Amino acid sequence: MFIGKSDGRKLVDALSKGMADSLQLMMHFPKSPATKDKVNVDFWYTSSDTTDVTQDFLKNFKTTYTLLKDVIDFTPHPILWICGRCRTKGYTDKDVNCLSGGRYCAPDPDDSGPLDGSQVVMEDLRQLCIWKNAADKWWDYAIYYGAQCRLVKDQATCVNNGYQAAGFDDSTISQINDCITNSFRKKSGKPLDIYLDDNQLLAQERDKQVEQGIQHIPSLAINYVLYDGRLRNIEAIQKTICESLETKPSQCSGGGSISSTEEHFTVGLVIVAMLVVAALILYFTRRMTKRDMMREMPNKINEAIADYFALKDTSRTEL
């Protein structure tokens, strides 16, 4: 759990001044406030996420988004970092993992590989422009890129393949490219330099990220409250969204979530598999026990006969 610097200072001061030997903290996880018509859903991610959590969320939540599209105001956002060293120099130096002089950065996605953080930020900017110009196709493109292009050296070819897979026409691609170029604040009389010139779209996204306190990849906020559940549990997310509406639409009455059905089916398969394994263990355990008994039985019979004759001989001797 992270807390702000000012709150942390209060805790340190309370302990250092001897106000208490120990402190007890209470955490409150607020529910998303209810809204009348639409639920605001913000998804914070990076195109280079290699944990597959982002991919799984996009593929599964797409169904929920389609189901509740009329009552969801969904917006994807890139998670951005800042170069502290660059900030002290007034963002005048280039950094291989950053754009705009170090204002917007991303970790190197493949360490010593051919890619760097600046390419990640450029892709995040591209997906931001895709959402602004072709939101209905953003889902298919983002899913394709995450599955096929994250660590590919030839990014340009893979991006074009993603455009084709998502069904972009030339006009839409041109709008996306214009969106990317025009988002940079080119210095007067100088050619565009994405590694130094500031970017107004990324600046807006960074301000929103700071305002909402986003720190983890990926993150989901429902009505501006961070969702603290598992992002792979789409059924729970859908339930939270429905509970955030004052008037529940018919889609929230149950039976409309495909991902819910898939999850129940998966749980059923797990239970069946566990029962099969338990039955096999029981079968082989009984079989091994029976085999051991058959092996030991002749020895037990011989021992019993030997004891009988020994007892008989002892009785004769006593007589």
Residues in the chain: 319
Mean predicted confidence (pLDDT) in 290-319: 55
How far is CA 287 from its chain centroid? 46
| List of E strands, 139-287 | 219-222, 225-226
Domains of the chain: 35-256 (3.40.30.10)
DSSP-derived 3-state class of residue 178:
helix
Tens of pLDDT along 260-302? Answer: 444 444 445 656 667 766 777 777 677 776 666 666 655 655 5
The pLDDT, as a whole number, for residue 121 is 98
Mean predicted confidence (pLDDT) in 309-319: 50
Neighbours of 285 (CB within 10 A): 10
Poorest-pLDDT segment among 3-17, 40-54, 115-129, 140-154: 3-17
Does 208 or 254 have the greater pLDDT score? 208
Mean pLDDT, the chain, rounded, equals 83
With a pLDDT cut of 90, the percent of the chain lying above it is 61
Tens of pLDDT along 203-217? Answer: 999 999 999 999 899
Mean predicted confidence (pLDDT) in 117-134: 98
Longest Cα separation, the chain: 130
With bands split at pLDDT 50, 70 and 90, how would you rate the model's confidence at 251? confident
Tokens (6 digits) for 299: 């020895």
The pLDDT, as a whole number, for residue 16 is 72
DSSP-derived 3-state class of residue 36:
coil
Tens of pLDDT along 46-85? Answer: 999 978 899 999 999 999 999 999 999 999 999 999 999 9
